[in-house]
Amino acid sequence: MWRAFTARRIAAAAAFGGGGITALGGLTFGLLVAEAKLARRLITATPGAGPPVADGLYGGTHGGAPLSLVMLGDSTAAGLGVHRPDETPAALLATGLSAIADRPVRLTNVARSGSRSQALSGQVDRALQTRPDLAVIMIGGNDVTARVAPAESVRHLGLAVARLRAAGSEVVVGTCPDLGTVKPLMQPLRYIARRASRQLAAAQTVAVVERGAHSVSLGDLLGREFSADPLSMFSEDRYHPSARGYAAACAAVLPAMASALGLEPAADEQPAGILPVYLAAAEAAEQSGTEVRKAATGRWAALLPRRQAPQPDPGRATA
């Protein structure tokens, strides 16, 4: 109940321009500065190039006009941590969507590593030039690490979703991942990061669903697998997912994309529950891979578990 109350407070503050509650209090931050600096050194110590460019046409052997898919967000959406274009989440999602729709998919990725939610405005400007049928946003981790007020982060996300929806695009948002799973973070910093990222994820869900978009809780990056096998699920920097880790996340996001475009069989559409939107947001923040969508009436939302979706094979994503 406390998480639901917090999500509602953050969303309300975003709507009315307030600062909301900060992810980390000043005193707590001061005590954890040394740990944060150490974690940052560990994460950035591993050299690596930028994310591979995966833009292009996927499923070209299918008939029909291509669907336009655009990715927005931070390094997770950009695919930092993998070495080949076909391993990026954008390529995995484009390949999967093409197979489900039986149509080609033209992919454009405007996500940039290091982006916070305030960067979405410029990304939406570029995204709208592609006239997207579907936009996928993954954002939030950098807002938490930079101590951006959650209400400010949510306000920027809400504006981005509203602009995309007004232009006729369906929107799916993968909410802030659980930063408490990042191995270079030590306790108590790991606990603080987990709490802050889950609060932001719940508030993001409220804002996204109220604007008619779909929200998927990435939670701990859908991660019993991440906890059980971090060496294979995280990339060399121990912060961003590996190809296998991205495939696990895409397995939860892809069904929501199909649903947003009306491509899912009706049998898969039975919700696990109908709750007030702020309670649904809190529930999704605790259950990784849960999609939240607006219900037919009022401020209610439907919960649809997506964790059991088959994982896209990163070795078969070809442009």
Q: What residues are annotated to the active site?
A: 75, 237, 240
What's the CA gap between 171 and 169, in Å, rounded?
6
What's the CA gap between 58 and 7, in Å, rounded?
38
Report the 10 Å Cβ neighbour count for 201. 30
What's the CA gap between 150 and 137, in Å, rounded?
17
C-alpha distances out from residue 207 to 11, 246, 258, 301, Å: 6, 25, 21, 12
Residue that is written with structure tokens 């990042």 in the block: 182
C-alpha distances out from residue 81 to 53, 149, 155, 166, Å: 13, 27, 28, 33
- Give bridge partners of residue 134 from the DSSP assignment: 69, 170
End-to-end CA distance of the chain: 45
Who contacts 124 (Cβ-Cβ below 8 Å, separation ≥6)? Answer: 72, 160, 163, 164
Residue 220, token pair as written in the block? 């701990």
* Closest C-alpha to 254, from 84, 90, 120, 107: 90
Residue 2, token pair as written in the block? 């406390």
What's the CA gap between 83 and 72, in Å, rounded?
19
